[in-house]
Amino acid sequence: MATLVQVTFDCADPASQAEFWAAALGYVVQPPPDPFASWDEALDAWGVPTDQRNTRSAVVDPDGEGPRIFFQKVPEAKSVKNRVHLDLHVGIGKTGDERRSVCEAEAQRLIQRGATLQRVVEPEGPSELCIVMQDREGNEFCVD
């Protein structure tokens, strides 16, 4: 049996990061456990103070196939390049102008949600087009 994988991001604003990555990946913010109708209801029941409610969040694949992405609040700001990053493969099976168009459209959609464009890595040899971006807190990821 394969090991279950969760990807964890340290961040300053877990709720904002969860919203961004849910939209980027086609995921949903993880729903609260039964019998709670909302996270506020669950956190009220558990006695979590209002000022401590944005310490963690998670997004999940609605089809149950992809890994859970967990966001945990940390006191320090991001200071160096990620050693691990996510690649969003939106251009699979496409080449040339069609691939570029799909990747650029996805990059623009993510920019509207708070991402920033870092650079475009043009195709060279066997490599394909890759758009290097950052999420709302500066974590690098690629659209290709």
Q: What is the CATH number of the domain that holds 12?
A: 3.30.720
In-domain check, residue 98: yes
Burial class (CB in 10 A: 0-12, 13-18, 19+), 113: middle
| pLDDT given at position 37 | 95
| pLDDT given at position 70 | 94
Considering 29, 46, 73, which residue would you say is the last residue of a domain? 73
68 and 90 housed in the same domain: no
Number of domains in the chain: 2
Q: Provide the domain limits for residue 91.
A: 86-143
In-domain check, residue 1: no
Residue 98 CB-half CA count within 13 A = 5
> CB-based contacts of 38: which residues, under 8 Å, 6+ apart?
32
| pLDDT given at position 1 | 63
10 and 60 housed in the same domain: yes
Considering 73, 101, 131, which residue would you say is the last residue of a domain? 73
69 and 34 housed in the same domain: yes
pLDDT in tens, the chain (144 residues): 677 889 999 999 999 999 999 999 999 999 999 999 999 999 999 999 998 889 999 999 999 999 999 999 999 888 888 888 999 999 888 888 999 999 999 999 999 999 999 999 988 777 788 999 999 999 999 999
20 and 67 housed in the same domain: yes
Considering 48, 73, 98, which residue would you say is the last residue of a domain? 73
65 and 28 housed in the same domain: yes
